[in-house]
Amino acid sequence: MRVDEETVTLRERQMSSLRGARAALIVVDVQRSFADPAYLVDYGLQPSASVAVASAVKNTSALVEAARAANVPVAWVGLGTDPATPWRASVWFRTGDHNTPYGPDEPCVLDTPGAEWYGLTPAADEIQVTKRGYSGFLGTGLEAALRRDDIDWVAVAGLTSDCCVAATATDAFQLGWPVLLPTDATAAYDVAVNEAALTQLALNVAVTTTVEELVDRW
């Protein structure tokens, strides 16, 4: 019982410490290649995972609208794959040969429909960065933009919990920002994988929350 009481007290302290601090919402990879059911056919999602992805997109969109209403800055992080400069490590990991060119099904190729936002749209004055790998902070101007806006803590939402959301949340944490992760505004392509990812992030990176609680915090 004592352990449970200490855990509750810690979470209360964590959440209380954010009161009055300046927040930002980071939206990760809610793009057609990762969110549009027409693009996910080859992933072989189970029905439960398809429902979870659709729900995450809907809830992330609701978060964006709530952030705007609360004057919370929204930062958009999207993958932009450049066929002229393949990500050698990723190609090697998936094919065993780092010299293999990108195939026709490569996600989020620049200037193609797969790279478009899905179910939500950035406003013209909101932060937008294009990444080449998993983390929204790697090789982008995201860190500088958040520091310029005097952001004290961040919430990270989008797709997927086990990959780019995890990498972006982890880097935000390592760069000094407390991280909140709304578990109903993220998903993976396998329900068990999503649960494992959220468990890992909660252990080492983020305080897990819900869309409703996050909006109340703003």
Is position 56 within any domain? yes
Is position 18 within any domain? no
* Whether this model's pTM surpasses 0.85: yes
Q: Quick one: pLDDT band at residue 109, thresholds 50, 70, 90?
A: very high
Q: Prior bond to 210 cis, omega within 30? A: no
Across the chain, mean pLDDT equals 94
H/E run at residue 127: strand 127-131
Residue 2 has pLDDT above 60, yes or no: no
Q: Quick one: pLDDT band at residue 5, thresholds 50, 70, 90?
A: low
Is position 4 within any domain? no
Is position 10 within any domain? no
Is position 63 within any domain? yes
Q: Quick one: pLDDT band at residue 98, thresholds 50, 70, 90?
A: confident
SS3 assignment for 2-54: HHHHHHHHHHHHHHHHCCCCCEEEEEECCEHHHHCHHHCHHHCCCHHHHHHHH
Residue 72, φ and ψ in degrees, nearest 5: -90, 125
Secondary structure (DSSP) of 61-124:
HHHHHHHHHTT--EEEEEE-B-TTS--HHHHHHHHS-TTPPP-TT-TTBTTSGGGSB-S----T
The encoded tokens of residue 11 equal 């979470």
For the chain, what is the domain count?
Answer: 1
H/E run at residue 175: none
Range of the domain at 69: 28-217
Instruction: Indicate the DSSP class of residue 160.
Output: -
Is position 6 within any domain? no
**Spatial CB neighbours of 146, under 8 Å, sequence gap ≥ 6:** 24, 75, 127, 154, 177
Q: Which CATH number belongs to the domain containing residue 202 in this structure?
A: 3.40.50.850
Grouping H, G, I as helix, E, B as strand and the rest as coil, residue 210 is coil
**Spatial CB neighbours of 202, under 8 Å, sequence gap ≥ 6:** 181, 208
Q: Quick one: pLDDT band at residue 3, thresholds 50, 70, 90?
A: very low
Instruction: Indicate the DSSP class of residue 205.
Output: T
Task: Give Cα 119 distance to the centre of its chain.
Answer: 15
Is position 35 within any domain? yes
Catalytic annotation, residues: 164
d(CA 179, CA 217): 13
Range 84-115 burial, b when 16+ CB lie within 10 A, else e? eebbeebbeeeeeeeeeebeeebbbbeeeebb
Average pLDDT on 110-138 reads 97
Q: Quick one: pLDDT band at residue 86, thresholds 50, 70, 90?
A: confident
**Spatial CB neighbours of 171, under 8 Å, sequence gap ≥ 6:** 135, 136, 137, 138
Is position 200 within any domain? yes
